[in-house]
């Protein structure tokens, strides 16, 4: 994959918006653009004439020629303002967004309203700082829900939450529960620049890894194919052997552990 190739396109993003009129947010975007282009080319047209020309109801044309925009259009505009779209390996936003993607896979979720949340264990090994820095670098800001007894902090973007969540879904984040059968490891990461690949791996193992008997292990309730892909990815990043046990535990070799888990304390004692 070339460095200038987009990791996802605007139609993928727009289709994550439900349209009351069309069902598909991308259809809204196309209709809205056709309407604006027609009016620009025909400045003396009426609302009814413009609506007929682009084959949409007059009521919709009246709204869209006023102050209203379809949700998908507003989302696309916001994503562009943040430089989340278009997104390529050359984009300065790819690294913070990749860190946030790792945070979703390793200790967070994207809700069905596309709001992303990040949770971190008490012994968080610097993950909180990495998540906070990535949110600020991405321009989304940080909001922290106070910790309740027996629970961990929840970190969320402070603004444009649903837009950021949809961007993360376009990058491969699952919506809802991560242990369901359709969750897949984002394969585009294998082609990413080394600093981006390492950033994803670093936060992931800090958030989910434990050192037992001298080796780094990751245990998660995920499909077998996901475990295999994660192991292959960590092997590619570290340049060392990483395998999956019969029970689904991702296990790094001693040499891979030296690369990926050097900051961890051995918990086997």
Q: Is 87 contained in some domain?
A: no
Residue 148 has a pLDDT of 60
Q: Are residues 26 and 99 in the same domain?
A: no
Residue range(s) defining the domain that contains residue 152? 94-260
Q: Is 108 contained in some domain?
A: yes
Q: Which of 206, 204, 210 is nearest to 230 (CA)?
A: 204
> Residue 140 maps to which CATH number?
3.10.28.10
Residue 150 has a pLDDT of 56
Q: Are residues 55 and 102 in the same domain?
A: no
Q: Are residues 57 and 156 in the same domain?
A: no
Residue 265 has a pLDDT of 54
Q: Are strands 242-244 and 250-252 parallel, antiparallel or unpaired?
A: antiparallel
Domain count, the chain: 2
Q: Are residues 29 and 143 in the same domain?
A: no
Q: Is 230 contained in some domain?
A: yes
Count Cβ atoms below 10 Å from residue 134 Cβ, excluding itself: 23
Q: Are residues 125 and 36 in the same domain?
A: no
Q: Is 11 contained in some domain?
A: no
Residue 199 has a pLDDT of 96
Output the tens digit of pLDDT for each of the chain's 269 residues.
567 789 999 999 999 999 888 789 999 999 999 999 999 999 999 999 999 999 999 999 999 999 999 999 999 999 999 999 999 999 999 999 999 999 999 999 999 999 999 987 656 688 889 999 999 999 999 999 876 655 677 899 999 999 999 999 999 999 987 656 678 999 999 999 999 999 999 999 999 999 988 899 999 999 999 999 999 999 999 999 999 999 999 999 999 999 997 666 544 43
Q: Are residues 65 and 102 in the same domain?
A: no
Spatial distance between the Cα atoms of 267 and 213, rounded to a whole number of angstroms: 8
Q: Is 163 contained in some domain?
A: yes
Q: Are residues 40 and 122 in the same domain?
A: no
Spatial distance between the Cα atoms of 65 and 105, rounded to a whole number of angstroms: 41
């Amino acid at each position: 994959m070339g460095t200038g190739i987009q990791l996802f396109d605007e139609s993928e993003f727009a289709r994550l918006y439900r349209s009351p009129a069309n069902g598909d947010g991308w259809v809204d975007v196309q209709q809205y653009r056709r309407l604006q282009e027609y009016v620009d080319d025909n400045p003396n047209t009426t609302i009814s004439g413009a609506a007929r020309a682009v084959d949409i109801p007059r009521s919709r044309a009246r709204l869209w020629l006023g102050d209203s925009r379809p949700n998908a259009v507003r989302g696309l505009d916001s994503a562009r303002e943040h430089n989340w779209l278009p997104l390529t390996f050359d984009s300065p936003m790819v690294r913070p967004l990749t860190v946030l993607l790792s945070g979703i896979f390793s200790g967070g979720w994207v809700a069905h309203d596309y709001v992303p949340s990040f949770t971190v264990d008490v012994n968080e090994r610097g993950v909180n700082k990495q998540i906070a820095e990535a949110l600020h670098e991405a321009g989304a800001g940080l909001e922290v829900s106070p910790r309740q007894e027996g629970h961990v902090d929840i970190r969320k973007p402070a603004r444009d939450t649903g837009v950021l969540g949809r961007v993360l879904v376009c990058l491969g984040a699952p919506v809802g529960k991560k242990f369901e059968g359709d969750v897949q490891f984002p394969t585009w990461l294998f082609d990413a620049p080394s600093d981006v690949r390492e950033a994803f791996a670093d936060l992931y193992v800090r958030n989910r890894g434990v050192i037992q008997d001298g080796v780094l292990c990751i245990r998660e309730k995920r499909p077998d194919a996901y475990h295999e892909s994660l192991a292959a990815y960590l092997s590619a990043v570290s340049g060392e052997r990483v395998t999956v046990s019969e029970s689904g535990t991702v296990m790094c070799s001693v040499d891979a552990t030296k690369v990926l888990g050097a900051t961890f304390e051995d918990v086997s004692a």
